[in-house]
Amino acid sequence: MRAVEIIKKLYAVISDGPGLGTIELADTVSGGHIAKALTESDELFGAAVDLDTREAALAAFDLARLNNSRFLSVLEVLKELFEREDGLEKAWQDKDNPPEFRDLVAGAALVSTFHQQQQSRGRRQLIIDALAGSFCPEPYIWGFQDTLLRSMMEAHLTPADIDLLLGIKKQNMIKLDIGNLHISSDIDGFERLATARFVQLTAVGGGMNIVLNRYEIPAGRGELQVQMTHTGEKFLTMLSAGRSLQLS
């Protein structure tokens, strides 16, 4: 896909990280003022940086607010998409208007800080899978994939939470007895999924109350019903699309 090709070219130019290479690239993008004074700069980057790469760098620098650390964290996420290039190419081969470079950069900028903060490889992989899926035809055409990504991050979902969500989808609805809620190891996961609006918690009988995404357990009997929402179904579709790209 053309957008990924531009990213690969950009990454190759500045893969050494911040320093002279980044400065020279920024100079080329901004008009080559340093290059005019230093012919060596022009010799190094004149052939390597074409119009597409300049536009790519401009977009990335703009979204990263010229912060080297932020810029490189965006590039790190973009680099993760390289391995999905063949899958994306196949997914879009019979369809029009695939994602543009700026779309990929905007998505990477959206998740990069959260991705960088994670100490769990599983969580980082979940973020990349969901991001990659957002560029597949169906989720991309929906036009609200950024909302799904934000919901996932703001709720701090884990791979275990996704397993819970898949289980809810398979069973249609999960019912938990009030008396057993305090010993259920899944309650925290249900709450996070409800925070993301991927599931709905409903109290049935027993005088139990639902406060936003959390529950309050009074004395009495009843059950807590956990059911997937339309938004949760959309998220799983997007995530599945991203994961399938690895197998393409």
User: Is 243 part of a structural domain of the chain?
Assistant: no
What integer pLDDT is reported at residue 66 of this predicted model? 47
Q: Which residues pair with 225 in a beta bridge?
A: 175, 202
Residue 76 falls inside a structural domain? yes
What's the pLDDT tens digit per position in 150-163? Answer: 999 999 999 999 99
Mean pLDDT over 222-238 rounds to 91
Q: What is the pLDDT of residue 76?
A: 86
Q: Any idea what DSSP says for residue 157?
A: -
* Residues 75-119: tens digit of each pLDDT: 889 888 888 889 999 999 999 999 988 899 899 999 999 999 999
Distance separating alpha carbons of residues 229 and 150, to the nearest angstrom = 16
Q: What is the mean pLDDT of residues 44-67?
A: 59
* Per-residue pLDDT, 236: 97
Residue 61: its pLDDT value, please? 62
- Quote the pLDDT of residue 234: 97
Q: Is residue 118 part of a domain?
A: no
Q: Are residues 101 and 166 in the same domain?
A: no
Q: Please state the φ and ψ torsions of residue 205, each to the nearest 5 degrees.
A: 75, 170
Determine, yes or no, domain membership for 149.
no
Structural domain includes residue 14: yes
Mean pLDDT of 133-142: 94
Q: Could you tell me if 84 and 163 lie in one domain?
A: no
pLDDT band with cut points at 50, 70 and 90 for residue 248: low
Query: Which structural domain, as residue segments, surrounds residue 11?
Result: 1-109
pLDDT above 80: residue 231: yes
| Pair (88, 5) in one structural domain | yes
**pLDDT: which is higher, 50 or 120:** 120
Q: Tens of pLDDT along 1-51?
A: 677 777 777 777 666 555 555 556 666 666 666 556 555 544 555 555 566
- What is the dihedral angle through the alpha carbons of 22, 26, 28, 33, rounded to the nearest 10 degrees? -110
| Count: domains in the chain | 2
pLDDT at 218 over 60: no
136 pLDDT higher than 70: yes
H runs (alpha helix) in 15-144: 20-30, 33-37, 39-45, 51-63, 68-80, 85-92, 101-117, 121-134, 137-142
Same domain, 172 and 105: no
- Tens digit of each residue's pLDDT (9 = 90 or more) over 169-213: 999 888 877 666 655 667 888 889 999 999 998 877 655 555 445
Residue 161 is predicted with a pLDDT of 96
pLDDT digits (tens, 9 = 90+) for 124-134: 999 999 999 99
